Amino acid sequence: MTRAQYAIDLPSISRSQIQGFLGVIPEVVQTGFWIVVATVTILTYKHARSTLLQPLNTEVFKLQLESMSRVLGEFVGKDEIGLRHEFAFDELFTANIFLMLDNYAKTHLGLRRKPGSDTERPYEKCRTWLMDPADLEIANEYVRLDTESEPSEEILVKSWADYGHSAMPIPDVMVERKAALQAYLQDPLLPTSCVKLIDEFLEVVDRRVTSLGEVLSRLAPTLPELYPNRDALDRASFDGFRNEWNSVAPNLEPQAQAITDFARSYFRSDDFTVPGVAKSKRRRQAVRRSARG
């Protein structure tokens, strides 16, 4: 048998087929190149998060800690009584009680301000009002002018029956304390949840303020029976008004406690873990072992 008999007939490959095959090679190489680049980029980014970005996260955490510390300074160690004192709610009550009584003395008892009197009433020390008091005629002392005629009892009763405590003087201290907390709402370093809690605390403060106006408006019609004349008014005690207000007004301490609890939870003070910083490999392994157990 000759060598030619053992030869294998190979299919012939045309020049065009060879050129087509060679043309595909650059595309394959280019695709492989971009796959390698993408893989390296992803791995580099993941590595940077645990190395290059960690110092940045740590610095942000330090700034957050400073902001949060200032916030906590507003609430830590203060109970309900302390918070009310901090926001001048006693001064708020006094200013508004005096305003209502002075209006009652003028409107129902027919008393007028003493000419030339320079005695400053508590509400006159307040520069902020919930309603513009420009149109209010406020009597500062329970002294009747001798030159004025006494209005009829019918007119006095009707005038006071229409009274509503719609204009409220707000102590300057309260305005300043609220402004200090409102500044935290614009702090970009504070977590959104913390900002929301502060905003809710301010809402509680506002509700407590408006509840006083509602209580005084509701109890105002009882003044003619309780204090029918000037002598009775001079001996007046308003603990009942204060107690009624405290019974319906929201408390400040629960919302303040929610803010301090959030801070402890956010910073995880039990294990001193910095938010936003990746855990170490050893830490992750320990967590996995604990989960399996």
DSSP string, 221-241: GGHHHH--SHHHHHT---HHH
Of 39-53, 71-85, 231-245, which range is least confident?
39-53
Residue 164's pLDDT band (cuts 50, 70, 90): confident
Provide the phi-psi class of 114: left if phi over 0, else alpha when psi is between -120 and 50, else beta. beta
Q: Which of 219, 226, 223, 213 is nearest to 241 (CA)?
A: 219
Q: Above pLDDT 90, what percent of the chain?
A: 36
Q: What is the pLDDT of residues 191-219, one digit of tens each?
A: 899 999 999 999 999 999 999 999 999 99
pLDDT at 115 over 80: no
Among 68-77, 113-122, 202-211, 215-224, the minimum mean pLDDT is found in 113-122
CB under 8 Å to 148, separation ≥6 — which residues?
112
Q: How far apart are CA 203 and CA 250, in angstroms?
A: 10
The model carries a pTM of 0.68
Going 104 to 108 to 114 to 115, the CA torsion angle's sign is positive
pLDDT band with cut points at 50, 70 and 90 for residue 151:
low
Q: Is 110 left (phi over 0), alpha (psi -120 to 50) or beta?
A: left
Percent of the chain residues past pLDDT 70, beyond the cut: 63
Range in 72-81, 130-139, 174-183, 229-238 with the lowest mean pLDDT: 130-139
Name the least confident of 54-58, 73-77, 173-177, 255-259.
Answer: 54-58
Work out the average pLDDT over 122-130.
92
Gap between the Cα atoms of 65 and 54, Å rounded: 16
Among 43-52, 59-68, 157-166, name the one with the lowest average pLDDT. 43-52
* Contact by Cβ (8 Å): 105, 160: no
When pLDDT is averaged across residues 244-255 and rounded to a whole number, the result is 96
At 72 the pLDDT is: 87
Asked if pLDDT for residue 146 goes beyond 50, the answer is no
Side-chain half-sphere of 188: how many Cα atoms within 13 Å? 1
Average pLDDT, the chain: 77
Beta strands in the chain (DSSP E): 128-129, 169-170
Q: Is the pLDDT of residue 283 over 90?
A: no
**158 confidence band (pLDDT: 50, 70, 90):** low
Express each pLDDT in 236-247 by its tens digit.
888 999 999 999
Q: Which of 163-177, 203-217, 257-271, 277-291 has the lowest mean pLDDT?
A: 277-291
Helix pair angle (15-50, 53-73), 10° resolution: 40
- Which of these, 151, 160, 165, lies nearest to 96 by C-alpha position? 165
